[in-house]
Amino acid sequence: MRKRPDLLVGLTVIVTIVALIASVLWVRQSDPTRRRQRVVARFHDVGNARVGNAAVIRGVRAGRIQSIELADDGAVLVHLSLNRGTQLPSNPVVLLNESSLFGEWQATIMERAALPRDETVQQQISANSGNGEMPGATLPDIAKLTAVAGQIAGDVAAVAGRVEVAFDAAAAIELRSSISNFAALSATLANTVRDHSTDLDTLSTQLRDAVRSLNRTAHTTQLIADRVDSSMTQGELRKLLIDLGSAAVELRSATTTINSMSTQLAGTQTRLDRFLVNGDSVLAKINSGHGSLGRLVNDSSLYVGGDSLVTALRGLVADFRANPRRYLNLKVF
């Protein structure tokens, strides 16, 4: 009779031990009957990743993180235990990231070509390559992203405050004046270019005529030379002298025309140089930020403020259309 309670106690202890072992295996999601393969990934920092986090390939759980240890060179080695027969992607890399909003992490194994277009991730992968292990990178968690978003919001608020301070009624008047000055300068430049284009057309026409005269003179000179050769044998020296006189008259006329064109060309060049010098001075002042036009070109705050003013005016017009009685109150007695 006493052996029966001892047997029950022993069975209870054995069942309890088996239940504890099964619970631990279930919590760690381990299967002692399934053989596993192990791979190692190298990281600079693993964030909040812990032993037991899932290892995922193409969205499917393929194993877990078995251990995390520091290497001799300061890197972090993450040992992954994968299901037996799991096919790794070609040129694999490991990306540690949050899998939920509750702080759970996972190790995602993917192809290197499928990495996100993030300069920080690419730098981490490049730094952890070439050591015999799979290169790894860690994405920032929700807390870091929230802090960065708060900083960006603060910067945007500071910029909006500066724009509101910088763009007032005086700035709007100055902007209108700058636009008018720029329009006047554009008109002046257009007129100047139009005038000089006419001078250049006239000059090119005169040069063409001078070249034709020189060609005629050369042709006449060639004829004279031929006649000189023939006159030596046929006695036409008198006629040759007459032709030479005509050629000299044409040559003198051509020389006079060329001198006149040279004088006009020198005057045109002087006016063009003066125009270029004045234009370069105006553009230098604009580029250095002097005057209203210079501030308009170099200072983007006027444009940003003007855009904000236009947005506010559009909102005012829309509100006026929607609620005209708020602004106009007519009473008929």
Per residue, the 3-state secondary structure of 135-150, as one string, reads: EEEECCCHHHHHHHHH
- HSE on the CB side for 113, CA within 13 Å? 3
- Entry field: residues in the chain: 333
In angstroms, the Cα distances linking 227 to 25, 221, 224 are 122, 10, 5
The answer on pLDDT for 1 being more than 50 is no
The 3-state DSSP class for residue 209 equals helix
Please name the residues in contact with 258: beta carbons below 8 A apart, sequence gap of 6 or more: 210
pLDDT of residue 320: 77
Residue 277, pLDDT score: 79
List pLDDT tens digits, range 117-171. Answer: 888 888 888 888 877 888 999 887 655 555 555 566 566 556 555 655 555 566 6
Contact 195, 275 (CB under 8 A): no
- Helix (H, G, I), strand (E, B), or coil: what is residue 62? strand
pLDDT at 199 over 70: no
Which range has the worst mean pLDDT, 17-21, 89-93, 261-265, 303-307? 303-307
- Quote the mean pLDDT of the chain: 76
Query: Mean pLDDT across the stretch 214-230?
Result: 78
Q: What percent of the chain has pLDDT over 70?
A: 71
| Statement: residue 77 has pLDDT above 70 | yes
The answer to whether residue 110 scores a pLDDT higher than 80 is: yes
